[in-house]
Each structure stands twice: as C-alpha cells, then as structure tokens.
Amino acid sequence: MFGTLQPGLCGLDRHDRGAYRRAYCGMCKSMSRYGLSWRALVNHDLVLYALAVEGLQREEDPGSTCRCPIAPWIHRPIASPSGAAMRAVAALQVLFADQWLADKAEDGRAAAAPLRRLLPTHKALALAESLDLDAAAFATLCDRQTAVEADPHITPLGAAAPTAALLAGLFQNIATLPGCMALDAAAREHLHRLGHGLGEVVYFIDALEDVHKDRRKGHFNPLLVPGRHGRELSEAHLRELIDALDTALVRIRTAVAHLPWQRGGDLLTHILSVRLPHRAERALKAVRPHVATMPVVVALAVAGPPGLSPGHGALATHDTRKKNKPKRGSDAKWCCVGECCCEGLCEGATLCEGCAACGVCSGCDGCG
C-alpha cells in the first residue's frame, strides 16, 4: 500500500494513542518472525488493517511486552504477535512489499529485482494461507495493474480497479479470520465497501501527489494523457478523479459508522473519517491551479467531522489560514512533532498554544 493511513496522535486521547502504539509496535515485533531486519517494513496502512481486525474480534487481545530494537533499554506494550491481527499483517506486509518491488522492476529500477528475491515471500504466503487470506490475489496484482496501465484510454477509476478489488477482498476476509465475531451479510458488505473505497482513495491520493513527478519522468499516471507537449494533465480525468474520490470517502465513512466495532471504533473513525479526507485535500494541492477552476463537490464538507462548518471539509478548495499564524519555536509549547493537532480536529481537541492561537483548520498543511 501507499503509507497514507496514519493518525494525528496529538488529536487522540490517551487510550487511543496507546492502542495505536501497541498495534504499531506489535506489528514490528510480529515482523521479526522473518528476521530482525524485516521489522523495518512496518507501515501505517497495515497497522490500520490490524486495528480493523482487532476491532471485530470476539475477545480483546491480552497484549504483551517486548524490548524495542531502536531503544533496547525500553520494554514497550504491544499487541500479541500470536494474535490473528498481527499474524495477518505480518503476512500482508511482505506480500505488498513483493508487489511494490515488482512494480519498480517494471519501471526499470535495477535494484528492485534483486531486492525482491531477498523477501521471505514463501513464508508470508504460507502464513497468509494458514489464515485463509486470499494470497493468490497478490500473484497477479502486478500483471493486472500493468495490463490496465497499457490501455491508452484508461480512466482513473479503471486504473484504481486492481488495488480496490484486492483491498475489498482483504477486508472481506476479516470476517473469516480466527476469533472474528459472527458478522451478518450487511456487515460483510460494509467490510467489502470499506476495502474497495480505501483501495480507490489511496490510489487516487498517490496519483495526485505524484502527477508532476510522473510527468517529468515519463511514468504512468491516470491523470496524464498525450498532448502537444508530451504527457499533459487531463482536466476530464481530474474531474472524474475528484468526483470518485469524494464518493469513495463518503462510502468509507458510511461503512465505518455501520460496522459493529467491539473496540477501537473511535480510533478507526479518526483515521478514516477525519485524517484520510484531510490527506486527500492535501494531495489536491499538487494540482491546485487546476482544481481552483473546477466545481469541487462538497459532500465531505457537509458530512465532515462534527462541529465543522461547510467549507472546512476534506475537499474544500480555499485556504483561509491566518497569515499571522505563530511559528514553531523554543518559546512555544507545541503538543505535536511533525503533526498538526488542528488538522480537522479543532472542535473538541486539546490544542497546543500555537494551534489554539491559529484556530483555523481549513487548508492547514501542518504547524510551523
């Protein structure tokens, strides 16, 4: 996946911060089943999958502790590496890394193929099969994506289809993992819609963020079409992507709201219904001059985080930040490092002095 699904930790209460860190550290520990060096593969997207799995388990994970490889004098609380959630993400992370390297090899990266051979893919496949995860879908993912990208008339929705289908299947697989509570047909359908929407959103965000780099390097991007001066940004494709992005984000929000989470519901809502739309808005800044001339849908502004008025939603296209926003400095007590606690969280959040002085979330690209 693309590393887009991470929380703003300073916008969470102590319980949810602890739950996220336990899942993150638990995934790190679970990756050590392949060897210490593979713990470096841990990423936020699969941590979210682990949280979704754990949220639908009948019994709460008892947890454990382990010595941190970065700070070995510290024993950190972690999710149990033997639990279904941690075993699932340990398998999926290697399989996603394998397909990522396969894609880079297709792009002509010389180091990708040798690195791919080093991955413990066979162990990951065996682990995935033991959990009844659809590991076979990974074997053809790169080929399906390559075939889609070879179509000169492909649209953004068509280009996102392989990723969306894969994640839809993986999220639907949650219902069959060991220890999962009994889910009815409606809940399973919400899992499918959640995964499908996530696949589309992470693909669209990646396309938006990389559009200028892909144009410069001649790589595929669903927003680029042949033009008089090489590959150029297609306004029609951009309009389609924005509409599809808005629709997918609303679908995700609806699925999250209707799933019967046993625990971690607020944390998942924060990541998927608050942070992810904000990340989408930030990605749109990569093509801001073009977006400014388009009628962007405002469904997310209406259905955004409680307390936010229309215009403060994920796809708002204006920037109303105060120009005298205070800068990070030694004289300010900032509650966040590298994150902004006002990113879509002004209402009801505990703000640091700098964010409280600003008070305007719309268009915020981080404190500083």
Provide mean pLDDT across the span 38-55.
Answer: 93
Q: Print the domain residue range for 135.
A: 9-302
Examine the pLDDT at 133 and tell me if it is beyond 70: yes
Q: Report the pLDDT value the prediction gives residue 318, as an integer from 0 to 100.
A: 34
Q: What is the CATH number of the domain that holds 266?
A: 1.10.600.10
* Domain shared by 213 and 268, yes or no: yes
* Domain shared by 295 and 361, yes or no: no
Residue 311 belongs to some domain of the structure: no
Q: Report the pLDDT value the prediction gives residue 140, as an integer from 0 to 100.
A: 84
Provide mean pLDDT across the span 147-166.
Answer: 93
Q: Report the pLDDT value the prediction gives residue 137, as an integer from 0 to 100.
A: 86
Residue 105 pLDDT class (50, 70, 90 cuts): confident
Examine the pLDDT at 357 and tell me if it is beyond 70: no
Q: What is the pLDDT of residues 209-250, one digit of tens each?
A: 999 888 888 889 999 988 777 788 888 999 999 999 999 999
* Domain shared by 298 and 331, yes or no: no
Residue 177 belongs to some domain of the structure: yes
* Domain shared by 148 and 180, yes or no: yes
* Domain shared by 82 and 53, yes or no: yes
Per the structure, the count of domains in the chain is 2
Residue 310 belongs to some domain of the structure: no
* Domain shared by 177 and 235, yes or no: yes
Domain boundary residue among 302, 328, 353? 302
* Domain shared by 252 and 337, yes or no: no
Q: What is the pLDDT of residues 161-217, one digit of tens each?
A: 999 999 999 999 999 999 999 999 999 999 999 999 999 999 999 999 999 888 888
Q: What is the pLDDT of residues 302-317, one digit of tens each?
A: 334 333 333 333 443 3
Q: Report the pLDDT value the prediction gives residue 313, as an integer from 0 to 100.
A: 38
Examine the pLDDT at 349 and tell me if it is beyond 70: no
Q: Report the pLDDT value the prediction gives residue 106, as an integer from 0 to 100.
A: 81
* Domain shared by 355 and 217, yes or no: no
Q: What is the pLDDT of residues 251-295, one digit of tens each?
A: 999 999 999 999 999 999 999 999 999 999 989 887 866 655 554
Non-local (6+) Cβ contacts of 334 within 8 A are 328, 352, 353, 354, 367
CA-to-CA distance for 184 and 51, rounded, in angstroms? Answer: 20
* Domain shared by 80 and 134, yes or no: yes
Q: Report the pLDDT value the prediction gives residue 334, as an integer from 0 to 100.
A: 41
Residue 143 pLDDT class (50, 70, 90 cuts): confident
Examine the pLDDT at 26 and tell me if it is beyond 60: yes
Among residues of the chain, what percentage have pLDDT more than 90?
A: 53
Q: Report the pLDDT value the prediction gives residue 104, as an integer from 0 to 100.
A: 85
Provide mean pLDDT across the span 57-66.
Answer: 93
In this structure, what token pair is assigned to residue 264? 């971690």
Examine the pLDDT at 351 and tell me if it is beyond 60: no
Q: What is the mean pLDDT of the chain?
A: 81
Q: Report the pLDDT value the prediction gives residue 358, as an integer from 0 to 100.
A: 52
* Domain shared by 352 and 284, yes or no: no
